[in-house]
Amino acid sequence: MAFRRFKHIPMVAALIALAVTTAWCQVRRDTIDVLLVGNSYIYFNNLPEMIEGISTALDGPIVRGAAHTHGGSTLRRHIEDGHLPSILSEGPEDGGDWDWVLLQEQSTLGTAYDGDPGVLGSPDAFHAATRDLARMVRAEGATPALYMTWAKEAFPSQSETLSQAYLSIGAKLDLEVVIVGEAWAEVRRLRPEFSLYISDGSHPNAAGSYLAACVIYAAVTGRSPLGAPRELRGAPWDYAGPVESSAPTILVSLSDADAQFLQAIAADVVGVPAGDGVQ
C-alpha cells in the first residue's frame, strides 16, 4: 500500500523526496574521530585533513582527523605540558568522544636529539610514556594506538629498530600499531627512486604524508584506500594547527600511477582487501 500511494505523488514532489532521502543517507554516513598526538611528522602537509579527504571520497565511514602537536615533541612532553587530558575529555569540536588516539613518538624514540640523525635512543622513554598515555586514553573511553614512524632517508637500517620498538610495546599493552614506517620501507624496497622526504631527509613530503594517510585510513577502517583521489585540498598547517587566514591549498597532487602505487602499498602492509575502498 505504501508503494501504491507513492506512485500518485506528483513527479516534482517525488524527485524532491528522493533528493532529501539521498542527502539524509549521505549525512548519516558513519564517522570515526581520530586524534593524532605527536609532532611535525603529523602537521607537515596537514595529515589529518588528508585522512579525512581520502575517507570522504570512498565508501564507508568518514574519518575525521584532528591533531595535538608540538614541533620536535616527545610523547613524554605531551604528558608534561598538561594540555592533553582536557583535549581527551572534551572530545571532538562538535561533541562526542574520540574513537582512536594515535600516539607518534619523536623520531629518535623520545631521547634527547644529539645532532646525529643516524642515532636512535633507547626505547625505554618511549615505552614508559606509551604506558602512561595508553592508560590516560583508555580512561576516556577511546582506543589508543601507535603511529610507527620511518627511518631517516640516509639511514634505512633504522626501520628495523623502529619497528621493533613500536611492535614490542604494542604487544605488551595490546595496542594496535599503525605501521606507517613499514609502508615507507616497502616503498624504498620496491621503488628506491621514489622519494617520500623533503630535503632534510627526515620530514615527509606531500607523497610521504599521503602514504601515511592511506595507511592510517586502512588501519582504522579496515578498508582499502584504493580508489582515493590523487589530489587533495585543505588548509595549510603549522605547529599550532590550521592556518585559518590562508585559503585552502593543494595538499598533495600525484599522478594516477603514483597514487595507486602508494594506495596499494598501504593496503598490502595493513592487510586489507584491495577492493574494499572503491566506490
191, 185 Cβ separation under 8 angstroms: no
User: Hey, where are the domains in the chain?
Assistant: 31-270
Q: Note whether 70 and 184 are within 8 A (CB).
A: no
CA–CA distance, 36 with 144 (Å, rounded to integer) = 10
Helix axes 206-221, 256-270, angle to 10 degrees: 40
pTM higher than 0.85: yes
pLDDT tens per residue across span 69-123: 998 999 999 999 999 999 999 999 888 999 999 999 999 998 766 668 788 999 9
What is the per-residue pLDDT across 215-242, written as a single tens digit (0 to 9) for each? 999 999 999 999 999 999 998 766 556 6
**Residue-wise pLDDT tens for the chain (279 aa)?**
332 222 333 334 333 344 434 444 445 689 999 999 999 999 999 999 999 999 999 999 999 999 999 989 999 999 999 999 999 999 998 889 999 999 999 999 987 666 687 889 999 999 999 999 999 999 999 999 999 999 999 999 999 999 999 999 999 999 999 999 999 999 999 999 999 999 999 999 999 999 999 999 999 999 999 999 999 999 876 655 666 656 788 999 999 999 999 999 999 999 998 765 544
Q: Is CATH 3.40.50.11890 correct for 31-270?
A: no
